[in-house]
């Protein structure tokens, strides 16, 4: 059996005492001293020597006991327990100084970590969405009032409850709802955060219906603002002219003013009616008359319409299944926008290509590019002086009804913008 430090020290000091005892006793006996001298030797020398060796052993071992206690306290995050040595210099004094500095550093780190955790908990409590924190054993350790409302009980009374009691399960590192009805109503987002020297799971529940409702409210508010603006702009001059007509006396000399005012009222009324019709056409479902048409046939009218202003490039002629009339309207709108944006009359290019699943029609210009891509497909948003803000929205509506996509982005190869029509093949 191997000797540890304590056993080795005890054995070594015992051997030293036995050697001292045997040699001193043998020396006295060889000198002719009687048993009285031997007893005196044991009482006055050997017994104090044994106590001295025992004290030396305690002196050698005791610092390690103190160090073990200090390390255990540090492991339990109790930094009030410090290693102490009476030595003012030497290795034990240096060990005391190092452990004291380590405890101070760890205590400061723990205080900062606890402060961050408190700030996180306070932030969670202020958020309106249900939020819960589960430890590595999937046990609830903290939540907010919104989570209490979601479960119907205060989260404090449900602390240390397993996650599956809330219909939350973890599979392959991903959290999800165990009930499909909850998954349809709530969106679950997750993150890992460090708490108490371990990683906890932060779960945020978002009500899908509230998000959709908010989007609908935003859309309605935007539509109401647009309608209010346009209707006000049209009704204000109509009202002013009507008031002017009320003050005019009928007669031959005022007939011209009557006719002019009535003509303006009719014109503004027609404009308002046109606006309402255009607004209704933005989301109108078109009756598609699909037919097969080759790319060459689709481009031929565009080449005839724009002539040398347009450069066409087709990697290979193939067949598309589209409503030719509506798709031509889309191309005319996009090409017109590209020509109006370009500074040169012959710098617009249309490129047609395909993959195994999709056909792509790219319209490239060399204009200033897209300055506000977020509002491109917002109804009635326009950067043109006399624009109506309807063209791109109608184009997008027609392309999407062909199960395709319309995008408008800045070019990466040079200055200008690229409008892309993506259509499914087959």
Q: Give 352-384 pLDDT, tens digit per residue.
A: 888 888 899 998 888 877 776 554 555 444 444
What pLDDT score was predicted for residue 387? 40
pLDDT score of 175 more than 80: yes
- pLDDT, average across residues 230-241: 65
pLDDT score of 388 more than 50: no
Report percent pLDDT > 90 for the chain. 5
* 135 touches 200 (CB < 8 A): yes
Structure tokens at 47: 């017994």
Give the number of other CB atoms < 10 A from CB of residue 313. 12
Give the number of other CB atoms < 10 A from CB of residue 413. 7
pLDDT confidence of 196, banded at 50, 70, 90? low
Strand order in the sheet with 358-364: 310-314, 348-354, 358-364, 417-424, 405-410
- pLDDT, average across residues 233-248: 67
pLDDT confidence of 230, banded at 50, 70, 90? low
- Alpha-carbon distances, residue 211 vs 105, 178, 207, 283 (angstroms): 46, 22, 7, 22
Structure tokens at 16: 């030293």
Least confident of 5-19, 262-276, 288-302: 262-276
pLDDT score of 27 more than 60: yes
* 69 touches 60 (CB < 8 A): no
Report percent pLDDT > 70 for the chain. 77
Kindly give the pairing relationship between strand 198-207 and strand 291-294.
unpaired
* 424 touches 358 (CB < 8 A): yes
What pLDDT score was predicted for residue 389? 43
Q: What is the mean pLDDT of the chain?
A: 78
Least confident of 91-95, 164-168, 345-349: 345-349
What pLDDT score was predicted for residue 391? 63
- pLDDT, average across residues 276-293: 68
pLDDT confidence of 385, banded at 50, 70, 90? very low
Beta bridge partners of 417: 410
* 323 touches 371 (CB < 8 A): no
What pLDDT score was predicted for residue 111? 78
* Integer Cα distance of 234 and 372 in angstroms: 28
What pLDDT score was predicted for residue 64? 83
- Give the end-to-end CA distance of the chain in Å, rounded to a whole number: 82
What crossing angle do the helices spanning 5-30 and 47-75 adopt, rounded to 10°? Answer: 170
pLDDT confidence of 314, banded at 50, 70, 90? confident
Least confident of 174-178, 251-255, 257-261, 280-284: 280-284
pLDDT confidence of 386, banded at 50, 70, 90? very low
């Amino acid at each position: 059996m191997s000797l540890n430090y304590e056993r080795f020290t005890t054995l070594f000091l015992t051997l030293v005492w036995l050697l001292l005892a045997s040699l001193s006793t043998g020396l006295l006996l060889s000198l002719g001293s009687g048993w009285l001298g031997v007893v005196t030797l044991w009482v006055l020398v050997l017994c104090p020597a044994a106590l001295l060796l025992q004290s030396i052993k305690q002196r050698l071992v005791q610092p390690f006991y103190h160090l073990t206690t200090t390390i255990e306290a540090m492991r339990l995050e109790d930094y009030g327990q410090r290693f102490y040595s009476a030595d003012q210099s030497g290795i034990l004094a240096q060990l005391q100084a190092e452990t004291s500095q380590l405890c101070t550093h760890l205590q400061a780190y723990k205080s900062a970590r606890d402060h961050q955790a408190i700030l996180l908990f306070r932030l969670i409590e202020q958020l309106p969405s249900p939020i819960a924190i589960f430890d590595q054993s999937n046990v609830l350790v903290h939540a907010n009032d919104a989570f209490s409302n979601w479960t119907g009980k205060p989260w404090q009374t449900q602390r240390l409850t397993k996650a599956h009691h809330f219909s939350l399960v973890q599979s392959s590192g991903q959290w999800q709802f165990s009930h499909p009805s909850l998954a349809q109503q709530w969106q679950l987002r997750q993150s890992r955060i460090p708490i108490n020297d371990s990683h906890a799971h932060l779960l945020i529940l978002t009500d899908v219906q509230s998000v959709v409702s908010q989007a609908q409210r935003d859309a309605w508010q935007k539509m109401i603002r647009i309608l209010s603006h346009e209707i006000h702009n049209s009704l204000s001059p109509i009202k002013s002219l009507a008031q002017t007509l009320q003050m005019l006396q009928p007669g031959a000399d005022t007939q011209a003013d009557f006719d002019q005012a009535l003509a303006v009222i009719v014109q503004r009324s027609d404009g308002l009616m046109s606006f309402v019709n255009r607004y209704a056409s933005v989301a109108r479902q078109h009756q598609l008359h699909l037919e097969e048409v080759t790319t060459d046939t689709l481009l031929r009218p565009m080449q005839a319409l724009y002539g040398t202003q347009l450069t066409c490039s087709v990697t290979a002629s193939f067949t598309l299944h589209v409503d030719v009339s509506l798709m031509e309207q889309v191309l005319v709108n996009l090409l017109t926008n590209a020509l109006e944006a370009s500074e040169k009359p012959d710098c617009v290019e249309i490129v047609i290509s395909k993959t195994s699943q999709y056909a792509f029609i790219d319209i490239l210009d060399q204009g200033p590019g897209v300055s506000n891509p977020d509002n491109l497909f917002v109804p009635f948003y326009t950067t043109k002086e006399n624009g109506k803000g309807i063209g791109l929205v109608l184009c997008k509506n027609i392309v999407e009804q062909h199960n395709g996509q319309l995008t408008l982005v800045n070019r990466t190869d040079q200055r200008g913008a690229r409008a892309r029509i993506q259509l499914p093949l087959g």
